[in-house]
Amino acid sequence: MARPRRIVLVRHGESEGNADDSVYEREPDHALPLTPAGREQAAATGRRLRSLFREERVSVYVSPYRRTHETFRAFGLDPALVRVREEPRLREQDWGNWQDRDDVRLQKAYRDAYGHFFYRFAQGESGADVYDRVGAFLESLFRSFEDPDHPANVLLVTHGLTMRLFCMRWFHWTVAEFESLSNPGNGETRCLELGADGRYRLDRPFVQWRKPEPYGVTG
């Protein structure tokens, strides 16, 4: 099995929806492009990635949203060194279709009170649903490692909540630990690095906005 030396997760650059949430009333979430600031963020992230990967090959998985595809293109990676696949299981948490801004703001307030993992948007998904599809993607990813010629790097271009849930699934974090962490900023990365002991470690933690509040039976 050829496990990669590193698995890099990237949140897309700033989208029009990040800058103005009224746009969700007019445009589908999946179709929102990057803002000029988002393109600059993606380009800056690309410079860091090119320095990290150098001349090594990279297996890339991109969420099917417009903003993630635009983010990846802005990285400027050498096409001869990358293998790119669109991966729908890495998409954003589904909120529904065209959305009323005030209703979404109200539902987000409910989610903050109820919990990001369990709260289900009225016409969309819960964080638990995203966790399940991320788990299904991981099964496919592990099977890809069986190829002895697998690239030394994996790059996932995705969304903030999906990044946290990927790490929750990989590192077996509890729901309470997940709930205590904030999403990364636009264009931010997290890297799972393979150590000499054969275990992956996160290069830097997610920002913790509160102490985990565990309950029930553990161990």
Catalytic residues: 12, 92
- 58 backbone dihedrals φ, ψ, rounded to 5°: -135, 130
Please state, in angstroms and rounded to a whole number, the distance separating the CA atoms of residues 82 and 86.
13
- Whether residue 140 contacts residue 87, with contact meaning beta carbons closer than 8 Å, is answered with no
Show the tokens assigned to 38: 């988002």
What number of other Cβ atoms are within 10 A of residue 72's Cβ?
24
Show the tokens assigned to 5: 């030396």
Please state, in angstroms and rounded to a whole number, the distance separating the CA atoms of residues 94 and 109.
17
- The torsion defined by the Cα of 201, 205, 211 and 216, in degrees rounded to 10, comes to -30
